Structure 1
Amino acid sequence: MEQRSSWPTTQSNLLLCIRDAKDHGAWERFVDLYAPVIFRYCRIQGLQEADAQDVTQEVLSQISRSIGNFQYDPEKGKFRSWLGTVTWHRICRHRRTRARQVADARVGGEVLSEIPGKDDGAWVEVFNSHILATALKNIRARCSEEKWQAFHLLWVESLPPTDVAQQLDRRIEWVYKTKSRVLKELKREVEFLAADVGTLSN
């Protein structure tokens, strides 16, 4: 399985990379990964598709303008919570604008240093499910078809190892070893995408 020794090993390193205006690749990875999360959460909060797209772009623009001065400290809170706070403030501002009310929410650069007390349940679900789906997609691209099939049958479909071994005409030891190796890579991928999501069960 391919190793990415040149890639950051944690999400905080990706945040450091996007602070460099010259690192266009890091920013593209950030947008590709998190734009769908922001958009989906906006839709869950009741925004129409066009409005959700607008808010997504506003969030990304706000981060792009302010990230140069942002210091991410995982000891103070989760990256997931930080991004959720930025998104929520933008949704609130959008609603106030639509309602022609005076917007008094703090949505300037200072919001990037605010850590909420706890995550919104809908945001956590959208964030975590997207991270896992992305990690699975990335890992599948680096696995052989046979190894991925073994892992999928065991971990995703929860088939008994003996059934998987018989279906793939492999020894049971190979099945266990394959699951262990792929799961290890999956955990590393999740850590790279968002180190504070949590752990994966065996």
Structure 2
Amino acid sequence: MSELDLKPALEAVLMVVDEPATEAHLAKVLDRTPREVADALRELADEYTAQGRGFELRVVAGGWRFYTRAAYAPAVEAFVLDGQQARLTQAALETLAVVAYRQPVSRSRVSAVRGVNCDGVMRTLLQRGLVEEAGAEPETGAILYRTTNYFLERMGLRGLDELPELAPFLPEAEAVEPDSLEGVPSFDPDEDETDETTED
């Protein structure tokens, strides 16, 4: 494999990946050193930016993948959606935010923070691969949930440490309890979901 030109080989592989590819994995399949792969990937990313291409190469969730450049997202959205709504409901966004900032967290804890039953919304988030089970709470045996790598990928984050700080989004005029997540930034992974009406 080493006889192939590295940059075109990386482009070819990254065109077909289903999830971000790590430098170590790319180096293994292309029979190159991780350093060679890392340097080539960064050069490709810089080239695409310099050329003003409609896509970019980014590190997300621990690996590299092609993404639409933000400036051209409206064109892609118009093509993919074609007038259809493909956003999470407000209830799902709020639930996802609670899980993201409080993980690992139980359903009952999420419901307590939101003030409504979140079972239906949690099922939706699980089905869409945005959250997953993360063991059980020792004291109660309740199932705990956390966000997935797919969540990081859809949000364009390298890791959870890149989640925005909550303070700028919290109300200034009133004190907010530490466990409250009112005013958290809205997440929009562009996923289709019908409005949840089963919450109490």
Q: Same fold (TM over 0.5)?
A: no
Higher relative contact order (CA 8 A, sep 6+): 1
| More strand as a share of residues | 2
| More helix as a share of residues | 1
